Structures are given as C-alpha cells and as structure tokens.
Amino acid sequence: MTYDEVQALFDAADAPVEHARRHGRKGALPALRDAALLKTVYAYGLFSGARPTCVPAFL
C-alpha cells in the first residue's frame, strides 16, 4: 500500500469516532477502540491468521 492509501485507511477508521463525538452520539469509545486495534494490527504487520488471538483483553 502507498502512503496515501494507508492514510486514507486510517482516516476512514477515525471518521466514525469524530462523527459520534461531533453529534453527541453513543459509540465513540467502541469506534476509537476499533480504530486503535486496526492501527495496531497494521503497525505490527499481523497477518489474518494471527488477528483472532489479538483480542482487546490481552492488550
């Protein structure tokens, strides 16, 4: 992936967080958790087989 594609992926992951905060809706924390987990998985290069063992309880 190019830098721009990665940035677009991260921006798309952050969009639900900003939307929930801006409109005062529930779901900002789960959206933030999901975005952080996506970024962690990307940063460590975990492949699809390793993701199921990387659950928030272990982080």
Q: What is the mean pLDDT of residues 8-25?
A: 91
Residue 47 above 90 pLDDT? no
Q: Is 46 left (phi over 0), alpha (psi -120 to 50) or beta?
A: beta
Answer with the residue of higher pLDDT: 19 or 46: 19
Report the pLDDT value the prediction gives residue 11, as an integer from 0 to 100.
93
pTM for the full predicted model: 0.68
Answer with the residue of higher pLDDT: 7 or 46: 7
